[in-house]
Amino acid sequence: MTASVLQLIGVRKRFVDTEVLRGIDLAVDRHEVVALIGSSGSGKSTLLRTVNLLERIDDGQILLGGEDISDPRVDADRVRARVGVVFQHYNLFPHLSVLDNVTLASRRVHRIPRAQAEETGRRLLNDIGLGDKAKEFPDRLSGGQQQRAAIVRAIATNPELLLLDEVTSALDPELVGEVLELVQQLKASGTTIVMATHEMAFARDVADRVVFLDGGVIAEQGPPEQLFEDPREPRTRAFLSRFSGWVS
């Protein structure tokens, strides 16, 4: 028995001639928020995609709630129904209203009656101040509103785990705060989150643990205070020095 929601054991992933993940060991506890940081190309998105079975791993194991989801015989749709995901771009279906986006998985995958799914969807949208946008199409919303709706869609089915991949990096700076605030609220309500981010201040404020990926391995990890204030590895220090004011 494991208390971990998610466990990666010796995970390796290769694309043609490059090994992008070179033996990742990572366990995420229930209610924990883990921030993945690292240079562009360090494998953050690939790691998140392997958990959602968008990429199949070459070696190692991935356990979700103790179940080996990296077993090729596992039904990927069934796994995806247990994991919420939000990417950087294009999360909402443009031809569906915001409410239909938010309720789609509940209705189609979890077979919840429309009226009940819509009641939950409206409540979630109201909670984040988007109740009046329920019937709008996504292109009528700002980028920040769209990402917030995408996050609400990802949690509408009560997933065991929420994966966020650079959810603010396509946004205008003035829209970043409202999305980060929503992530902060989800953390407060106990959502288990693994998020790749370039927002170091946010990672420091919200994450329970920060994981620094470099060259396909976890170069260093720890509580944000330690990793940001007193990194042990020279390469962590070098990475953080690119974000001005982080390490002296």
Residues in touch with ligand ADP (CB under 6 A): 15, 20, 38, 40-46
* DSSP assignment of 150-165: HHHHHHTT--SEEEEE
- CB closest to Mg ion, residue no: 45
* Residue among 81, 76, 78 nearest 50 (CA): 76
144 makes contact, choosing from ligand ADP, Mg ion, none, with CB < 5 to 8 Å by partner type, with: none
Rg, the chain, Cα only = 18
Write down the least CB distance from residue 195 to ligand ADP, Å.
12
Return all residues near 53 (Cβ < 8 A) that are at least 6 apart.
Answer: 69, 74, 76, 79, 80
Write down the least CB distance from residue 92 to ligand ADP, Å.
21
Q: Does 70 bind Mg ion (CB under 5 A)?
A: no
* Residue among 247, 156, 151 nearest 200 (CA): 247
Q: Which is nearer to ligand ADP, 38 or 138 (CB)?
A: 38
248 makes contact, choosing from ligand ADP, Mg ion, none, with CB < 5 to 8 Å by partner type, with: none
Q: Does 45 bind Mg ion (CB under 5 A)?
A: yes
Q: Which is nearer to Mg ion, 44 or 133 (CB)?
A: 44
Write down the least CB distance from residue 194 to ligand ADP, Å.
13
Strand arrangement, sheet containing 67-68: 18-29, 4-15, 59-64, 67-68
**Could you tell me the two tokens for 184?**
């902060």
Footprint on this chain of Mg ion (rule: CB under 5 A) = 44-45
